[in-house]
Amino acid sequence: MPTGQRTNEPPDETTEDLLAGMTEAQAKAVRHTEGALLVLAGPGSGKTRVITRRIAFLVYCGIPPWQILALTFTNKAAKEMRERVLHILGEQAAARGLTVTTFHALCARLLRKYATIAGLSGLDANFVIYDTDDQTTLIKKALEELNLSTSNWQPRSVLGRISNAKNELVDAETFASMADDFNGRMLAKIYAAYQKGLRAANAVDFDDLLVLTAKMLKTNAEVREDCRRRWRYLMIDEYQDTNKAQFVIAALLAGDKDPNICVVGDPDQSIYGWRGADIANILDFEKQYPKAVVIALGENFRSTKHIIGAADHLIRNNTLRKHKDLFTSNAMGEKIEVTICRDEHHEADLVVDWLKIRKGEALRADEAPAWKDMAVFYRTNALSRVVEDALRTEGIPYIIARGTTFYQREEVKRALAYLRVVANAADDVSLGRIINMPARGIGDTTLGKIEAWAGEHNLRLFEALGRTSAGHGVEIGPKAATAIAKFVQMVDGWRGVAPPTPKDHLTLEGAEEIRGSLASLVERVVAESGLEQMYRKGRTETDEERIENLAELVSSAAEFESNYSPESDPVVDVAMAATMPAVGDDRSAGEAAIGTLGLLRAYLERVSLVSDSDAIDPTQGAVTLMTLHAAKGLEFAVVAMIGLEERILPHSRVQENPKELEEERRLCFVGITRAMDRLMMTSSRYRTVRGLTERAIASRFIDELPREHVSISDQSEWNEAGWDGDRSDRPAAARRGGGGGSDSTSRGSVTDSRGQRLSVGVRVRHPQFGIGEVVSVNGGVDARAQVKFREVGIKTLVLQYARLELISG
């Protein structure tokens, strides 16, 4: 046990409250505060509950909150955890200094804080985080320098290789020493050039955040000790998704003298292997910390027996796993409904119909689900479009979990590029993006000249621009020279320093740096850069939208500013935090601590680290659409999973490799176990990918689901001979024929796709459900009938697809 606080048991009544309604295993995990603890938490086993209560328990035990560090993978998870802890503790002051954040955000903050003393190969505290686009630009530059063509060395794949290396903590030198063929040696050169480019731009990529932090903690005892002194209780969520760099960071933060480290995860939900996540981290935890206590939470409180049974059966097909029993005492529920569809449009229609029916049906809690309780999952983003269209036509509200889209918009990206240049004068990539946007007479020719000159003189582009405008740089025409001078002056104006000095570091006491709020700076940049003007000139709808988005960016900055609390900023020390006013007391607290430029950097950092799942807002009354990856950690009463086909789930890139196949199966497992009450899974006979319609084969995962928990219904009208009927061989054409859904709104009778008239009382035969009697009909574009079947009871059928056969009438 570390020196310092002895743990005192909290008063009994408090403890009782905290542990109320918990299982023995859950309570044990909450009470186990000292030493290493591994919680193997199956889906729906109350994991988040355990973590949040454990944090509260620690605080009740007298541990100062600022000594507790909880790490997650997404901002959303961190936010939720923080809120839930605050809720339990009742007041914010009780949680003062508690750190709940993501790995990446923590690393960014630590790097900023210790940049100076750790000497991060030239990186200073003002660094920016490069996104994928920036990385691509940079890698292209590197390739150009090395005279390599982007067709032989595809930026995407090169970046992937570099990223893999970084995830394994292999730096450029090591990579070079390991290279044993031409390819490897070239890659090593590209890697080195890319790193050089990053450092020159005072930039890091996502992987660097982890790599540099791991390196810093490993090599710099002062930093390491500083961190260990502060954080004595470490908790890590989704531990199965940690990669080597994260593993090392965790181990170094924890220290090796019986650390208080609690990791929570589920090997069966590891779905980030492609990002370097290593299940061995969680599987070998007990080897790493021999004294570790292991607690397994297997009981599922979320889903019905059918869902859990199917999920359990499916995941047993994985061989590389540690088996853990999944069970629930929840109701049996309904079987999982697997539906075979004709094509993606048919699939989308059936899913939407299914959701609509669920909307009007009571679930186990006796309440009909709202749209917000429903979700549609898919393997790849491209699959979402058709479902979106179908939902839109039906007027069903939906949201797509794609948090990054806002910041990816052209106009927002441009504004952010301006801000990044303001925040970091060395960022040539961003500067290149905006220097002539809007057009201000600094074209490719001029820029090329200055870039070359800057290269020769070992200067950053902005510096070279400054000298050129002052007449000490390149020979250029007077027109261009004026344009450049104006530009430089503008940017310097925003920085509030002219000429730029290297000394505008993040300072805690830099009160002289205060000059207006972040939001007003953003507003100024949007207006003075000419971006706003540029889009105002256009009169199209998209232009108007762009103006609105720029306004939205300003409000997002304002919001960030008002929520910013130096207390929750790991950069700000404990001592500092103690003297800080309480959160929300003083809006200028953050600004006073780090200055407008510091705030700007913090804002840009947040923007860089938003993730798709951060966009999920359960308070919106809408169906949520998201990838299976984004679905992890969430739950919905009603779930539809689409695209259960070979080459999609499992993905085509994966088919041969058994290890990756198992990850695809885990992905499927994650999807299934998100559903509380009802689950539909669809597979299409044909699917159009990139404009090409191709035959698809139902996913092997469907075959792996046990029949006792699953009902399969083939709605594809497809048999061994091909497509039924005489319409066409092409499913798309068949669909466009209208499918025959009658538009008649006649009461009591309706015409189906085969021209049969159906009315109440008529007897029909259905290929799956057998013989039944029509109990009601609904006209309209998607005419449907409720049919009471002998075997299966009342079903609502969409006539367009139902293939009903008239028996009498």
Applying CB under 7 A, which residues contact DNA?
A: 73-74, 102-104, 132, 140, 151, 154, 156-157, 206-207, 271, 274-275, 379-382, 403-404, 436, 439-446, 480, 609-614, 627, 629-630, 651, 653-654, 689-691
Q: Residues near 224 by Cβ (< 8 Å), separated by ≥ 6?
A: 217, 218, 252
Q: Which of 109, 674, 678, 700 is catalytic?
A: 674
CB of 744 to DNA, least distance (A): 32
Name 751's bridge partners. Answer: 757
When the beta carbons of 2 and 273 are compared against DNA, the nearer one is 273
Look up 47 and say whether it is catalytic: yes
Q: For residue 64, give the DSSP letter.
A: -
- CA angle, residues 701, 613, 45, in degrees to nearest 5: 60
Q: Which is nearer to DNA, 260 or 613 (CB)?
A: 613
Angle of helix 589-608 versus helix 541-563 axis, rounded to 10 = 130
237 is catalytic: yes
Smaller CB separation from DNA, 37 or 264: 264
Q: What angle do CA 631, 381, 245 make, to 5 degrees?
A: 60
CB of 664 to DNA, least distance (A): 8
Give strand pairing partners of 263: 38, 236
3-state secondary structure 507-536: CCCCHHHCCCCHHHHHHHHHHHCCHHHHHH
**Of the two residues 442 and 787, which places its CB atom closer to DNA in the complex?**
442
Gap between the Cα atoms of 10 and 18, Å rounded:
10
**Spatial separation of the C-alpha atoms in residues 370 and 410, rounded to whole Å:** 35
Active-site residue identified among 5, 23, 48, 655: 48
> CB 439 → DNA: shortest distance, Å?
3
| C-beta closer to DNA: residue 96 or 215 | 215
Region of 147 on the Ramachandran plot (φ > 0 left; ψ -120 to 50 alpha; else beta) = left
Nearest CB to DNA, comparing residues 641 and 798: 641
Q: In angstroms, what is the minimal distance from the CB of 630 to DNA?
A: 5
* Kind of pairing between the strands at 784-789 and 770-778: antiparallel
To the nearest whole angstrom, how small is the minimum distance from the Cβ of residue 211 to DNA? 11
Return the residue matching tokens 């009780």. 94
Neighbour tally for 414: CB within 10 Å:
22
Query: Is the Cβ of residue 483 or residue 679 nearer to DNA in the bound state?
Result: 483
**Cα 663 from Cα 715, distance rounded (Å):** 29
What's the Cα-to-Cα distance from 7 to each of 25, 76, 248, rounded to whole Å?
21, 31, 28
CA angle 281, 665, 207 (to 5 degrees): 45
Residues 764, 782: contact at Cβ < 8 Å? Answer: no
Concatenated DSSP letters of 401-435: --TTHHHHSHHHHHHHHHHHHHH-TT-HHHHHHHT
Q: Out of 131, 205, 207, 238, pick the active-site residue.
A: 238
CA–CA dist 163, 213 (Å, integer): 16
Distance CA 162, CA 440 (A): 37
Give the span between the Cα atoms of 631 and 72, in whole angstroms: 15
The two three-digit tokens of residue 591, written as one number = 């600004």
Residues in the chain: 809
Torsion of CA 136, 142, 146, 150, to 10 degrees: 10
In the complex, minimum distance from the CB of residue 533 to DNA, in angstroms, rounded to a whole number: 12
Shortest Å, Cβ 545 to DNA? 16
Q: How far is the CB of 785 from DNA (least distance, A)?
A: 34
Copy the structure tokens of residue 242. Answer: 């940690």
Known catalytic membership, residue 334: no
Minimum Å distance from CB 344 to DNA?
12
Comparison of 61 and 442: residue with beta carbon closer to DNA: 442
Give the C-alpha separation, 510 to 456, whole Å: 35
Asked if residues 466 and 558 have their Cβ atoms less than 8 Å apart, the reply is no
Q: Which of 101, 102, 137, 269 is catalytic?
A: 269
User: Is 394 part of the annotated catalytic residue set?
Assistant: no
In the complex with DNA, the residue whose CB is nearer, 438 or 740, is 438
Beta bridge partners, 694, equal: 687
Q: Which is nearer to DNA, 255 or 466 (CB)?
A: 466
Nearest to DNA of 236, 295 (CB atom): 236
* Strand-strand pairing, 675-684 and 336-341: parallel
Would residue 228 show up in a list of annotated catalytic residues for this protein?
A: no
Q: In sequence order, what are the residues at sequence separation of 6 or more whose Cβ sits closer than 8 angstroms to the Cβ of residue 197?
A: 138, 141, 142
Least Å distance, CB 442 to DNA, is 6
Nearer to DNA, 271 or 352 (CB): 271
Q: How many CB atoms lie within 10 A of CB 122?
A: 13
Token pair recorded at residue 338: 């697997």
Separation CA 336–CA 202 (nearest Å): 52
Alpha carbon distance 400, 405 (integer Å): 10
Count CB neighbours of 682 within 10 A. Answer: 27
For residue 650, whether the previous peptide bond is cis, meaning omega lies within 30 degrees of 0, is: yes
Kindly state the smallest distance separating residue 152's Cβ from DNA, in Å.
10
Q: Has 48 been annotated as catalytic? A: yes
CB neighbours (10 Å) of residue 408? Answer: 14
Q: Cβ of residue 204: shortest distance to DNA, in angstroms?
A: 12
> 131, 208, 237, 241: which is the annotated catalytic residue?
237
Spatial contact of 772 and 686, defined as CB atoms under 8 Å apart: no
- Separation of alpha carbons 115 and 75, rounded Å: 24
Based on CB atoms, which residue is closest to DNA, 207 or 662? 207
Q: From start to end of 462-512, where are the E strands?
A: none
Give least dist CB 261 to DNA, A.
20
Please, are residues 687 and 645 in contact by the beta-carbon 8 Å criterion?
yes
Which residues participate in catalysis according to the annotation? 47-48, 237-238, 269, 674
